[in-house]
């Protein structure tokens, strides 16, 4: 009886906790009636002189608590906010944040946009990194290794050319000295098999094959500079 009661209580807790998340909206809430979302934006890497923009929303969390009147305050020469003030009875106001990187030297920049209201405060944070990168990243296929026989994913013996029997995991390593690797595309022949946006850059090749294949990887950095590596393999099964 006690065991059944414990199971019932656990089930009830699980159901109620998940029901509470149904229809939930992502937002940042201050100590008062001020709500805004999202709470930050990272523009990533930009070259000096580039422009870009993003938006976020501000609203009164609950109209039962009354309307809010808000003001946006920032002190960054490269950021422009529009509008800089407003009010809400519960409807969402769209705020546009424009950046202009003209005159900025290389480095990382952060601009806090303070949100003040008659019922709560908050901060929307803008980030950007300035760099000048015209060089290609580097990328190398590390698995399968050239000249080895692979049997169902395991490297067995060196045979002078790459032979794959069964499944194998293709793995690449990529890096960029000035910015970041945005993605790595993995191809078999001319067919794109996977786009990986974070390490490890891998693709498990499970499709059966018979014959010679060209495996290619293409790495892209933050400014779309590219680098390519490929390997010719013989695959069976």
CA distance 91 to 40: 21
Which one is predicted more confidently, 195 or 11? Answer: 195
Average pLDDT over residues 21-27: 48
Residue 66: pLDDT band with limits 50, 70, 90: confident
> Which H or E run contains 129?
strand 120-130
Dump pLDDT digits (tens) for 84-141. 999 999 999 999 999 999 999 999 999 999 999 999 999 999 999 999 999 999 999 9
Residue 36 has pLDDT above 50, yes or no: yes
Dump pLDDT digits (tens) for 165-200. 999 999 999 999 999 999 999 999 999 999 999 999
pLDDT of residue 65: 73
Q: Which domains does the chain have, with CATH numbers?
A: 26-130 (2.60.40.10), 138-236 (2.60.40.10)
Say what the pTM is.
0.79
Residues 6+ apart with CB under 8 A from 164: 144, 150, 205, 209, 233, 234, 235, 236
Q: Which two tokens stand for residue 143?
A: 């698995």
């Amino acid at each position: 009886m006690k065991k059944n009661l414990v199971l019932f209580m656990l089930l009830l807790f699980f159901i109620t906790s998940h029901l509470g998340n149904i229809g939930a909206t992502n937002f940042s809430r201050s100590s008062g009636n001020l709500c805004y979302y999202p709470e930050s934006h990272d523009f990533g890497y930009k070259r000096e002189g580039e422009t870009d923009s993003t938006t976020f929303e501000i609203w009164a969390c609950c109209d039962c608590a009354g309307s809010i009147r808000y003001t946006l305050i920032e002190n960054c020469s490269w950021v422009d906010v529009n509008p800089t003030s407003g009010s809400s009875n519960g409807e969402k106001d769209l705020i546009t944040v424009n950046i202009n990187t003209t005159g900025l030297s290389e480095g990382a920049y952060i601009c806090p946009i303070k949100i003040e209201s008659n019922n709560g405060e908050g901060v929307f944070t803008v980030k950007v990194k300035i760099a000048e990168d015209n060089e290609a990243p580097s990328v190398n296929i590390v698995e399968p290794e050239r000249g080895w026989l692979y049997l169902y994913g395991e490297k067995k013996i060196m045979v002078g050319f790459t032979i794959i029997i069964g499944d194998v995991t293709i793995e690449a390593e990529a890096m960029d000295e000035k910015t970041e690797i945005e993605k790595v595309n993995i191809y078999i022949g001319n067919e794109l098999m996977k786009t990986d946006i974070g390490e490890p850059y891998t693709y498990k090749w499970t499709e059966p094959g018979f014959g010679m294949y060209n495996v290619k990887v293409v790495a892209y950095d933050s400014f779309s500079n590219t680098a390519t590596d490929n390997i010719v393999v013989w695959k069976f099964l």
